[in-house]
Structure 1
């Protein structure tokens, strides 16, 4: 039963050390897209370590799990990893990790519901502050300009998605700068960063 413990230790070390190393490095400021991919790989590595540890622990604790999961593995491999015998902490580890996985799914569902509620409130506020003109159709290419003292621009996901910019941003930004900001916000929408944000918040 050394393998599940080693996987758990690897996942814990990755979860603790990787954010600190990324926070201390200066290259994420120069390469934010690469930093985002590295961060996603770190999260995926921790999840995979926990999932594999849970699988191996469950296989060791309950033959009903181990049989189907490792049915194609040669006997010496199963014996080498002690997957056929229940270790002292195998059942506790498997149940704990399964509960952690269910809790993460529940938190993700809660975050999606909360994000949808926040988005509906922002849409209602947007309709109140910038109603559609007679004959105007809502669409993904519609740019909403709001009166505001603070320069800001954002993409409001949903159906249809809305691109919003404040008058302070329009006053401050010149043509190419404004195009760059709007392209940046559209990039968030194309990459579905709202879903990444929901997952990160839930985790």
Structure 2
């Protein structure tokens, strides 16, 4: 169980509190947002992996069945190195706490995905009511695009299957063909990187 405590210490003392604070207070993420996003994802992955590993080791220490399954491929020396044969009294409570946290996180992620799918369906229905399909003959390279009658210049990518670019008439009046292609390429980058998934995961974890 010493390894479990070390993993949770890493979560508490580095990845979960000081590192995010340092990241939000730093000035460089404004200049390098992609790098900052990768750093943030690494921090989240570190926290999740540490908690999951601590849960598995805690369950292996408390339950012999779990221990036999987890360490079945490993030689006896590995099991002895983790010292899981004698679990302290608080091991069961810690394991249950981690299991409840994992179950709660999974439930929140599931709820977020269901809510996102419902909201996306409603948004697509509203968009279909507000704007007709573009007439045939537009360049196919621009992909599926929906035009909204609005003086405010705006464009965004609607995730889903298939993903769809939404552009207002205000943007079309102000953008050249080259600029519109640049906007489409930028929004395609969001879709290709699945940034909507990252937003759902962040919301669920929050």
Shared fold, TM over 0.5: yes
Q: Give the corresponding residue for 1:82.
A: 83
Any gaps of 5 or more consecutive residues in structure 2? none
Structure 1 residues 169 and 7, CA gap change in structure 2 (3 angstroms): same
- Choose from 165, 177, 200 the match for 1:198: 200
Structure 1 residue 77: Cα displacement: 4.5
1:1-203 equivalences in 2 (<5 Å)? 1-13=1-13, 14-132=15-133, 141-203=143-205
String of CA shifts for 1:88-129, please: whole Å, max 9, x gaps. Answer: 211111111111111111111111111111111111111101
2:16 aligns to what SS in structure 1?
helix
Distance across 2 between alignment mates of 1:133 and 1:69? 56
3-state SS, counterpart of residue 145 of structure 1: strand
Gaps of 5+ in 1: none
* 8 Å Cα contact 2:134-2:145 kept in structure 1: no
How big is the shift at 1:62? 1.6
The 8 Å contact of residues 132 and 146 in structure 2, kept in 1 or not, is answered as: no
Distance 2:124 2:106 in 1: 27
Structure 1 residues 38 and 180: CA distance shift in structure 2, 3 A: same
- Given that 1:62 and 1:86 are in contact with CA atoms closer than 8 Å, whether structure 2 keeps it comes out as no
Q: Distance in 2 between matches of 1:135 and 1:178?
A: 18
TM-score (norm 1): 0.88
| Preserved CA contact (<8 Å) 2:150 2:169 | yes
| SS of structure 1 residue aligned to 2:167 | strand
SS at match of 2:160: coil
Distance 1:135 1:30 in 2: 41
Give the secondary-structure state (helix, strand or coil) at the position aligned to 2:133. Answer: coil
2:21 partner SS: helix
Counterpart-to-counterpart distance in 1, 2:133 and 2:172: 20
Shift of 1:30: 1.7
Give the TM-score normalised by the residue count of structure 2: 0.87
Change (3 A) 1:36 1:100: same
